[in-house]
Amino acid sequence: MTDFTEINLIEIIEKIKAGDRRSLSRAITLAESTRKDHQRYSKKIIQQLISHPKKSVKIGLTGTPGVGKSTFIETLGLQLIQKGKKVAVLAIDPSSSKTGGSILGDKTRMELLSKEPNAFIRPSPNRGSLGGVAKRTREAIKLCEAAGYDIILVETVGVGQSETMVSEMTDVFCLLIAPAGGDELQGVKRGIMEMSDIILINKADGELKAIARQTSAQYEGALRLFRHRKCDPPNFPKVICVSSLKSSGLAEAWITIDELVSWRQKNGHFKTIRENQKIASFKRELFNEFENKITKSHDILLQIKALEERIGEDEITPELAAAYLIKKIFI
């Protein structure tokens, strides 16, 4: 990667403010880099942009592999661009547990959207990071906000118990579901439904249209049983049938998202949610810094290795070993 100087950073910052996609991409690459100098430069860029006016609406999208997330995002993105919006897509791909590599094929899957001058698509590997996002997705969102994108769509790895972090960095969280019967409803974790603001039943066309309506009714019934949040309007959460291929239901989905954001802004929830997200970000970064300090200390790593051997020989429990090490570190 190119070496950076203070002059280069000032130029990148100004170009990001002007909406330059190449500079935005370079800044995200810096944020994702593990090099210490790149991390230092990245923090400087983001700090300089923190007070830059922001108007973005951040939308998280999750769903099982094959549900049609990329097709939905492309179709919705094209419709929003036609309305005069600038759209950024941050697509997270799962990494190999062996090599850490990812296919990063979202630009190929969103071929039409990637050609739009008012669209920015950035695929990133999650590199083992939990929560359905990459380790520096939050920084990428901040950079896209500063670049003037009206809508930032964050596509997560897929549905799972760890698909929680994206809800801590977006304004609206959408869950995409394929048309299915009641048995499949059992397979969706309650936690993900409790976090979702809008559930979208995708592929509601052709022979699946009737099944999609049945699925919608099942989810509406399930949500009524356990969803009562202060930050929700009386008629939320909503379940909407959509077809990305037929472009049906997407206009209703966007109106619903806009309705939710407007209601939360009017009633003071929007500001509170964003403030809580910043605090959650601080706590997560604090834990990350602790982890980095521990894993990069030769002395601590030797102690961890010795404790692992004792745990393996049943000389000490994992709980006592952890407490012992923490006590030694903070004495």
Domains contained in the chain, CATH given = 1-51 (1.20.5.170), 53-267 (3.40.50.300), 281-330 (no CATH)
pLDDT for position 3: 61
* 266-271 long-range Cβ contacts below 8 angstroms, 24+ apart: 269/230, 269/231, 270/171
Q: Is 117 exposed, middle or buried (0-12, 13-18, 19+ CB in 10 A)?
A: exposed
249-305 tens-digit pLDDT: 999 999 999 999 999 999 999 999 999 988 988 888 888 888 888 888 889 999 999
Residue 161, pLDDT > 60, answer no
% of the chain residues with pLDDT over 90: 45
Q: What is the predicted pLDDT for the residue at 45?
A: 93
Tell me if 300 sits within 8 A of 294, measured CB to CB. yes
pLDDT value for 99: 39
Question: Span 12-22, mean pLDDT?
Answer: 94
CA distance 94 to 127: 7
pLDDT top residue among 119 and 163: 119
Distance in angstroms (rounded) separating the CA atoms of residues 102 and 95: 5
Query: Which of 287, 285, 286, 318 has its CA nearest to residue 304?
Result: 318
pLDDT at 127 over 60: no
pLDDT tens per residue across span 196-250: 899 999 999 888 999 999 888 888 888 877 667 788 888 888 899 999 888 899 9
